[in-house]
Amino acid sequence: MQTSLRNFIEDRLNEPQRHAATKSSGAMLVVAGAGSGKTRVITTRIANLITTEDVHPGNIVALTFTNKAANEMKERVAGYLEAGAELPFVGTFHSYCLRLLRSNPAFGFEKFSILDGEDQLSLVKKIIKRFAVERHIKPSQALYAISSARNNPNRKPAGMPSQVKLIQEIGMAYEEDKTRSHSFDFDDLIQKVLEMLQSNESFREELNNNVKHLLVDEYQDTNSVQHELLKLIATNSKNKTTFDSLCAVGDEDQSIYSWRGAEVANMKQFKKDFKPVEVIKIEQNYRSVQPILHIANEVIQHNSQRNDKELWSERKAKNRVIRISCRSGYQEADIAAKIFQSLPKNTEFNQCAFLYRTHHQSRALEEALIEAAIPYRIVGGIRFYERKEIKDLLAYLRLIMNPFDRVSFFRVLNCPTRGLGAKFEALVGSLWQQEPLLDFHQILKKVREEYSDTLSVKHISGLREFLETFEELNSSMQPDKALNEIIHRIGYRGYLKDSYEEREARTKRENIDELVSSAAAFASDKKKENISLEGFLHDVALMQEKLKDESDNCVQLMTLHSAKGLEFDLVIIGGLEEGLLPSSMSLNERAEIEEERRLFYVGITRARERLAILSAQNRMTYGQMNDQSPSRFLHEVPRKSCIDINAAESYPSEVNSAIYEFLGRTPEKSGIMTFGAPPSAVKSRNKNDRPFTPSQPTTFQQHPRKEKAFRKTPITSKSAGTGQWRIHRPVLHEKFGTGVIRAIERNADSPGEFYITALFKIGEKKILSTFLKVI
């Protein structure tokens, strides 16, 4: 096993990787860029210490941030060693500290419970109720502030002085309640070990003697408490280092979790606290082609808080990055759908991703993908029309259209809270069973008349408030007007602010603003036969119907934060505009802008083969079409290094050619595209122009949008065909012209013949392969 490991190190590691894996002593900071094989370095380093340097596994500790990463490392290390060989500790900071607490009963910590996130929230809720301050602070907000203060004590608490004081009081009560119940939360696991190391010299000395080789992964994500813990394990009471080797692996350019307490400055502090420190840069990238890395390097060099490095790859290529300036957010969505429809035949949907700053940006994109019959999955989030706040508001709209809709009625009767809880619901439900022909207006009036003696003042007030919400609203109203009226009457934005932690409440408000924009776009679409509230609700329902069948081979939609650690053949990053990326919440401080830039950098470096960067010149927000300013990060992307086109001022054929050049395909010569107006007609960006809505046939739709459901059969692997018949390949039909293959089925009655489902200008057709010609 030792020989095979040595061969692996010599043959499979590049020079910087090899040096980091075999350096046997001293402190080192391994600055490992995205896609540079850092996990390989850490695991071969551990195996090399055991097999070559003859270090006992019990003297090695490797710390990381997730159980998934730890398990992957353990599996790799085990693969380098003899079967059944003892393994060192490889795990998270929390699991290591729990191990120390459990294995030292003299400290009195052997019998305690661990509170998970739900337990913590429940405890804080009880304290807030005990203090009678429910109207002043939310439990999630208090818990977040308490944890932040403990993990980064040097950070100044956010908020008004009165609120900071209240949180401190809640925090003290929280600590007292945990102590009484012999319980620790996850922060305690590290804090208690830290306290023991600071107060108990013999414990610290024992740990100093046992832990001789320390490794820490993702060091840019450590907080100040974790950095201090490492310092106490690696140095004695006289501040002298006690380790044989200390290896921190990280990349400041991928530090995107400051809101969780991560301190990017810890990378620099590491060099000060453990000097002398050798900095080893691993810059060769094994993921992306060189043009993508060139863009990443050009963007990130504008940040100041970083160790200078430049990623490079042996994989050369041309025309792998495209920048497209779109007329609107709707055109951006259609262009993305067009790119996914036109993928090279060796690229699967599940190897493609659309990345955005926040989930509310997904709505227009979801609609475009649904209309184009492209399956998708939202990673780390919920489909737009399935989010709670969207379902709540749609339920109110459905009640305007259909006052007999019991499902919608019971969903919103007490949302926002108006004192009409479970008992009142049961009363209404029972009466409605006896009077099934009454609508909700009539049944509530009947409740008020027949049960006035038993109803509380709170019930009567809530009932009146609910009925008044629907006064003078009807199904012929424009959907955006009805929606805005409902939001205003029920105080829904205030309800979100009072019910959720600030960050989550903001996301939900952005979602309802996006719903208003969707309704306004629908109402202004002159091609719609029925632009009333009723028409809008039917349109939304049909969209939901199309999502019933879902393929495993899906385009991935996710936020830039969710994309960290992932990689795809093709990545589209949308919304490169001021206020979106960088976020409107991060425009004031240089440090915040640098983190937003790192977020963009993380998105860029997720792409293996192709990268598309999209922006919109105007976007529907708050129900109006508003001008957007290009992101400052766009100015940092060198135009000469990518295909660059303004879709708003170009002929459709020009944009089509640019996309096919980017995808490495020959442009279609026939008329499957629905081309729009020439440049002179689209240069105007007058706000009075009709909005560019998803229902309009656009430059990047292969056919006018029609109601067409998802089917499992069309979304099959591109390997499903045989010979010349492959998904996404263009075909020619004598009557229908040029089309694109969407699905292939064998003809059981005639071997060698296939039923081909192809998308033509007039729509989808299922045709025997005998009548088609591959072009």
Residue 179: CB atoms within 10 Å: 10
Q: Pick the catalytic residue from 187, 188, 218, 228.
A: 218
What distances in angstroms separate CA 73 from CA 53, 68, 95, one per listed residue?
Answer: 19, 9, 15
> Which residue among 188, 217, 371, 595 is the active-site one?
217
Query: Known catalytic residue: 254?
Result: yes
Please, what is the end-to-end C-alpha distance for the chain in angstroms? 53
Q: Looking at 254, 559, 605, 698, which residue is catalytic? A: 254
Of 393, 689, 367, 401, nearest in space to 516 by CA? 393
| 606 carries an active-site annotation | yes
Cis omega (within 30 of 0) for bond into 582: yes
Rounded-to-integer distance, Cα 681 and Cα 165, Å = 60
CA atoms within 13 A on the CB side of 594: 15
Quote the CA–CA distance of 445 and 436 in Å, as a whole number. 14
Amino acid, single-letter form, for residue 721: G
| Burial (0-12, 13-18, 19+ Cβ within 10 Å), 364 | buried
| Integer Cα distance of 422 and 52 in angstroms | 68
Tokens standing for residue 410: 């019971």
Tokens encoding 418: 């108006």
- Which pair of structure tokens corresponds to residue 178? 């945990």
Q: Give yes or no for a contact between 188 and 194, defined as CB atoms under 8 angstroms apart.
A: no
Report which of 214, 68, 31, 43 is spatially closest to residue 564, judged by C-alpha positions. 68
DSSP code string of 563-599 = TTT--EEEEEE---BTBTTTBGGGSS-HHHHHHHHHH
* Catalytic residue check, 221: no
Task: Answer whether 5's CB lies under 8 Å from 47's CB.
Answer: yes
Q: Which of 38, 40, 608, 742 is catalytic?
A: 38
Task: Record the tokens describing residue 721, joined without a space.
Answer: 């065909």
The catalytically annotated residue of 192, 309, 606, 705 is 606
Select which of 39, 269, 624, 713 is catalytic.
Answer: 39
Catalytic site includes residue 217: yes
Which three-class secondary structure state does DSSP give residue 50?
A: helix
Question: Does 218 qualify as catalytic in the annotation?
Answer: yes
Give me the active site residues, please. 38-39, 217-218, 254, 606
